[in-house]
Structure 1
Amino acid sequence: MAFPAGARLGSFEILGLLGAGGMGEVYRARDERLGREVAIKVLASGYLSDPEQLRRFAGEARTASSLNHRNIVTIFEIGQSDGQPFLAMELIAGQTLRKVASGALLPLRGALDIMVQVAEGLSAAHEASLVHRDLKPENVMVARDGAVKILDFGLAKPFGEAASGELARSLSKTSTGIVVGTASYMSPEQARGHAVDFRSDQFCFGLILYEVLAGRKAFAKASAVQTLTAIIEEEPEPLAHLNPKVPPPLLWIVDRCLSKQPEERYAATRDLARELKQLRDNLSRLTGAVQQGTSETRAVPVAATTVRTGAAAPTTRVTATTSIPAPAPESARHRTARVLAAALGALALLGGGTGFGWWLGNRGAETESAWKGDLILGNTTQVLASRLSPDGQTLAFVTPAGGVTQVAVMKPASGDWTVLTTRPDSGSVYRVAWSKDATRVYFDRVTDIPHGIFSVPAVGGPEHLVLEDAQSPEALPDGGLLVVRTSTQGEFRIHRFSPDTGLVSPLGPPVVAESVGLALRASPDGREALFWGRLATEGAKSLPRQLHLLDLATGTVRPVTGELPVAPPYAFSADGRSVVATVAVGDLFRLVSVSLDGHEVRGLLTVTSRPSSISPGPAGSTYVCLSESTQEVLRFPVTGGVPVRLGAARGALTSPALLPDGRVILPGLVAGRRRLFLRSPSGETRPLVDTSEETAPPVATLGGTRSVFLAGAPGAPPSLVLASIEEGRIQRRLPGTEGVVPQDLAASADGRTVYYPDRGSVWAIDVDGGTPPRKFTTGHGVAAFPDGKELLVQRNGINGVDLFRVPVTGGHELRIPLQGNLRLAPVPLSGRAVGPDDRIVVTVASRDSWRWSPALLDPFTGTVERIPVVFEGDVQSSGWADGEGLVGLGVSLRTELWRFQEIR
């Protein structure tokens, strides 16, 4: 029934009709109790006897009211008047996105302003474990002030952990095989009637983003059935053809959202929102580069399609000029390659490479030349490390198989590849190396400790143990091997091993053990080797980590790159005259060639994902494995299950920092600078402190009102600072902490002392005093017991990780026993690892899995019980939240293997 002006629904007076549809009407009304105008949604009278529609109507109310976000419509009241159910919600003075986007194309920035807000609202729903399932332009309102609100959660469905809760029961569960939604805005899995999760909404978001950029729907057929078929089987017309003004990075975001396979979309919608926001904020640079790009290069767009056996790989041309790749008329789908060609290379030159660009400019370095890129492996196949054979014909790489990582080989010319090793219970493979005659592949197996060096024939066959208790093999021309062992002091030592005689001889000084293994690369002539780290000699431990060159004849070591801040990966060039290494340039990564004396530097190419391995090949080619790691703060019960995702981190988060009120401290990047942010459960985010300095993890919270973290001017060594969380300001710098590199921070129960591990020692500092830190004991991780009388100290040694109870006043240490097959992973403890009942949450590794996972350790019996958290990645550095829950750091990984060829 229609409601005339003046009619009443509960305490609301109807003022007029706003709109009507097949399922009901929306009215403008006045809330007489609060004196505000609202929107009233009522169900059409024809549906009042339909239990399914009544369920859906009530479900929308419960769903939307459970969400509190600026980009989701607010539900004020759920009511019923004379048998008529209604919803009272905020009144939005504006238009639907359908009306806003009708007619002429929206300006690019205006379209992005809208879609960034849609993505942020959608992310909030997904982090609350809800998928919308009916996202379309009609369900997006754009207010007059530009604010965007997502409407109509009538088809929303819980997924993950929430699917078993009360909300799920109130919404009921749509059975698999039942198609719900709007035909033109469905994902392929939704169109098939399959079960859906948050990635289905990402596809729908991609459809809307495509439409506002192209001015027409991606899939629009004569009938709903034809439209659904097209969504499942066809590809939309390339967006670049319809709107040439769309920059390539935005094209790739659309392509990733519109991937047919859900696993090829975003691992978290928060990542999608962040990428879109960063692109919008840098749009002037991108569009400026588009306008300037002319004749210097004519490139094809990046296309990262799934590579099948024997299929030709997609190509891109990478350059550091201000040109942007011009779209080419290709019918193949563009997947996200994460190698942004000249567009983001231009961004690096425009503003990302402040210090490094100056350094190169003053060394007379050449600018980057143009490169052609071929995607070799990616999407569904993870490539964790790769090495090209000496004859340049075969790639060996590490990939997950059967729960652990194994050795695989591939012929790049054909795309054929196979897994060589199959042992499921001896640890995971970390690094591979070829024998000089290319007949065998050497590799290591590691859990929490190295189990040995092995070899396997390149054509297949059983693997053989070569040397126990060693890792990081590197073959030499004389048939010998370089390997790494861990000393009794917990330091890395490089050794030379002769398989013929069995002789193992140490080479060079010890190296501080700050990661899982030490990457070695031998020169082609076998006279020298590269490694990256910090020498464990007096005075050298305080120096920055850097690339070193080891003379294998004398054992002497010298730095290679001097002031140039290179980081792994690295490799000798094919001729052995230079080193190919990686330099971070803002959010980008630049591959450079450095002469062995460090005086000549040449820029090679710029990529947007972090390289994890470099392997120079024949004829000027270079194979690069790119990886993109996503860190998320996860909350889960001690019994495990599907975690609640509290937020994604942009930056190196060591362990989660959760406040008693549910807010979480997360690292991020703003204008190329590191920042810490405070994020509320509703998704509201603000800087942790008001400062022009960079702020970064690790973070310790003191009673929920103060925090300690790293801060410092850009480019300067940071120091630990004490800050007020509520006031948002730094209160003082902690003396004597400039240049420290703490792996994590732990606060005492009274909040007066902070402990941290740094370079093999545990340090203590009084946060309210003026004294510098004092060395407390040796160790690589630390947490505080709730009673304030003891510390839990982690020590990584040759036999693995040990934990000790250490009195804060000194005295006898008690080693905590460990029972069972699970081993402690060599990652720092969370500062909140010890619970109220003294149970300890640890990170464990096992021989049958390459994933690290949380576990509960009983300090009295030594029993370790794995916590089964449902997450595609490592869950590490977990700690106790207030109450019985846990928070941990979820780390997922996406990789691609590329072959780059310089165009001369």
Structure 2
Amino acid sequence: AQDTKLNRKVAIKFLNEEFSTDADKLDRFVQEAQSVSALNHPHILTIYEIGEVDGTQYIATELIEGKTLREHIEGDDMSLVETLKIIKQIADALSAAHEAHIIHRDIKPENIMIRKDGYAKILDFGLAKPVKHLSGGEDATVQLIKTNPGMVMGSVRYMSPEQARGKETDARTDIWSLGVVLYEMVTGRNPFVADNIGDSMVAVINKEPEEISQYVSNAPDFLQEIISKTLQKDAVNRYAEMEDFASDIKKLRFELEHNSNENKTVRLEAGSGENETVIQKAGVQLTTEEQNDQTKTKISGTQAVVSGIRQHKLGAAAAFIVAVIVLSGFGYGLYKFISGQDETKPVGKVGELKSRRITGDGKTSESEISPDGKLLAYRTENSLRIKQIETNSEVEVVPKDEFKYFASLVFSPDGNFIYFNGEKEQESIPSIYRTPTLGGRTEKILSDGWGVSFSPDGKQIAFARGNADGVEQSYYIANADGTEQRKVVSLRDKTRFFAIPPSWSPDGKFLAAGLADDSLLPKPRFVPIVISLSDGTYQKLGERHFLDWGGIKWHPDGRTLYFNGKESTDTFQIWEFQYPNGESRAVTPPLINYGSISLTADGQSISAIESKYTSSIWISPDTDPKNAKQVMPDSFRTNGFAWTPDGRIVYVSDQSGDQEIWIMDKTGENSKQLTNDRKAKSNPFVSADGGSIVYFNPFNGEMYQMDIDGGNLLNLPEPGLAPTFSPDGKWIIYHQWISTIGFTVFRMPRGGGKSERLTDYVARYPRYSPDGKYFVCQLSDQKAQSWDRLAIVQAAGGIPEKILELPSGSIGIPRWTPDGKGITYFNKGIRAMPIDGGESKKLEIPENRSTGLQDYEFSLDGKQIGITLSKRTSNAVLITNFR
């Protein structure tokens, strides 16, 4: 309708005439208007007027041009960041309503509108009541079901258990309902779905929802924790306030948007220093479970999109650079690989190191050795255990169900207590706890802190704390019992302290910590620092910067520090730094991840978590990956593979100890090493004539070409990423970073020569079509802050002839289907879609596989497909003879 007085469009809601005499419905109708008009919030529908015409009540509200959240869930693919953005808006609106003593009590996707610009609006406060008037829930639940069973079929699935029982309700009812909505947005299914109202109510009251990892295997752990807390059957165990829920959503979203590790949770697992899983770190987990969801391909207007790309190309480059580095550097975003040792970098006495495994379950995620070296505290499957190293006897001191999360273990100097970070079900921020070493009552020392380091006399602790906006990190000192806290130093914005526990120097004068300088992106930005406790100033330890790191520890000599970090490889190595000159060396080789380091009091032993990743190659007799059979054992790691015209497999493997290129028959037999230069290599590609192989170094962007037998190695004249040959073998196409655009597509003649830019917009991962007439590449979407578009471009370059929109979260290098009529991509598995539009089809992988899908390639003749699968194990080890 049109408001003629104010010249604006409005929406008018009428109460049906047959209900006008129904006092209950009339009261609800008026109540909705009163409830909403009492609120003034941008994410709540605005009421303009309430009135009556010819005996019929109406409400005039703002007109929302958009779709319901239900329509978005069923018809659109949203990234996790987009989902969290919407949930945060709804939570903020409900928080405002709760502050006004109004509970909605009917939150569900149908009652949430999403405008075209992504703005969320809550509708229908028809079940809302002022809190002070609520004596129970019977009138809004059971009675409503009795009188209008059809109307509430959808509502029942979002009711809280107390609503379903007809008990008293408060703000935590809305927290439950919004938790159900979040669950459904993430997984695409309601956790309490049933055939009828009665069964749905029983499910709400009794059924525990399945973990979201059953459906979305790349979901951050923190997201599961948030959902679990909202869906506690007992309201006492949920978030106490909607504001607390909104705060956790904000933390998770900030972590996803700003951390170089896309799927790192906001809990800041300080000191663990280990990768989650390789696929998670790359922002992808390719599920091996069957999923029935089908996604639709949409073709958008080419000229308009390209125009937008050109206008915002620099902004897009900045927004995506961290993710691009991860994607392009580590196996096209599908798998993170360990590089061979660079001979120019200092390495510790690797051959003299001694390592002894202390745990063997393959699931140890963090450890800490006691000062006397006799005990090991370790975390496995969220349980804290103490092991006597010499006798192998152990005891559980913190059971699984006591904390929803804990990390950053440290023994007190006398060995009597273990301090750690933890969050219990009712908590939304990490606190510092301690528990007796041999078991006993766990005690909270202080709230809102993480990472503990003891002063030399054991009387004080240092710890870290972040502010609410997540851009400031500070270090504090307190007594060992948590009293008398004081801030030592803090930094914020572009230069800030990194989220690792500090380490107190043996002389008591300094804290060792980490500095994150975001202005250095995309280059490595982390550097160790030493902070003076007398004046809060700090100095960097040398000029060596790191891509990522875990924890730092002083050696008892006061002149040496050890920490685990990742410089130009994909592994967390243990590094040694000298104080104060900053000289450094790698202690461990770059073939194994070492996280969660700690030292004994005599400085002779380091405990660490040793993580290993292996992968295997599987070959299918046809183009269905479900029929693939394993041809290479899970003994080594691969980083890309390619087919030769005669059906052999060229692949990168560390089976010789370094990253090298190998070739073998597709049966796994007759393997032969082709290179031996100990340099990082990624994703080889073979020319259609079978004469040449092209590949690149993911850490410096150098591209190489060599003969199929490994001879005539040529360092190509231009740097680039993801090079492949054109079908006629004349060109090498690749993407390269340039300052004026960001990543964009180039080609150069086979064997080297003058390069030629093919695109003047942000694009990456080009692949030629089988007939060589086109190439496909990824496009950035500045508005959505993603790479969820593909462009079909003529082989000679130019503007896209067609743009395909992928489901949110799609990632990795696109491939053409063998017939050239479709594109394959990663999104919760391998999916194939026709380039002329239509539904995508999921390609299943072998059943009963607990490992993650890493990569895939069609054979050059288009008749077969090969895949690689990966897995991870982690155990605590004791390292000696490292100095």
* TM-score (normalised: structure 1): 0.42
Normalization by structure 2: what TM-score? 0.42
Greater RCO, CA 8 A, separation 6+: 2
